[in-house]
Amino acid sequence: MNAAQPLVSCPEDNLDDRALVARVARHRDREAFQRLFLHFGPRIKGLMIRSGSDADTAEDLAQEVMLTLWRKAGLYAPERGTVSAWVFTIARNVRIDRLRRQSSRPYEDIADLQLEAPGASGEEETEMRQRERLVGQALADLPAEQRRVVELSFVEDMPQAEIATALGLPLGTVKSRMRLAYAKLRERLETVK
């Protein structure tokens, strides 16, 4: 791609995510990366905030995910799934790595700590993390086509009509898959409160 040509005038401007990742992998195309960043960055940040991170940490994690995408774009395999599934898998792994690093920090001497007003107790935190893990496992156990519509609806915040268009399915099929997924999740998570 000629550096003098702006991306806007380029006929490649309508490329899908797979093509953008391929351009990043093959040519280290900064404009393709920028488009991916503008598309996925806010979604990743939102996911991190919904997962319990504060805004600054969520921003750091989103940047770390996008840096990983830049470095590992050549590892994306279209036959294994969509770009968004790959990116959100990276996001999940980055978040898990961050949590592991935080939990492996040396503990402070409790005698030196100032006690603060009670917030979430250690037991509540443990229960919350256990619930997150159970929900994540329940989602992972859904059939792929049901999991995909749930991902698009909640992770990418797409309305059902857009999901139907994106997947090339009738709207009724998308609604049916969502209903089946909800039923399976409800059944699996009934005991989790």
The two structure tokens encoding residue 52: 């319990």
Q: How far apart are CA 128 and CA 91, in angstroms?
A: 20
Q: Where along the chain do its domains lie?
A: 12-104, 123-193
Q: Quick check: 90 and 68 in contact, CB under 8 A?
A: yes
Q: How far apart are CA 152 and CA 27, in angstroms?
A: 29
Over residues 60-100, the pLDDT tens digits come to: 999 999 999 999 999 998 888 889 889 999 999 999 888 88
Name residue, tokens 């990418």: 156
Q: Which residues contact 99 (CB under 8 A, 6 or more apart)?
A: none
Residues of the chain with pLDDT under 50: 1-15, 110, 113, 115-118
pTM equals 0.49
pLDDT at 193: 55
Q: Quick check: 171 and 164 in contact, CB under 8 A?
A: yes
pLDDT at 11: 33
Candidate CATH numbers 2.160.10.10, 1.10.1740.10, 3.40.640.10, 3.30.43.10; the one for domain 12-104: 1.10.1740.10
Q: How far apart are CA 164 and CA 39, in angstroms?
A: 19
Burial of residue 86 (number of CB atoms within 10 Å: 0-12, 13-18, 19+):
buried
pLDDT at 104: 62
Q: Quick check: 158 and 152 in contact, CB under 8 A?
A: yes
Q: What percent of the chain is predicted at pLDDT more than 70?
A: 81
CATH number for the domain formed by residue range(s) 123-193: 1.10.10.10
Burial of residue 134 (number of CB atoms within 10 Å: 0-12, 13-18, 19+):
middle
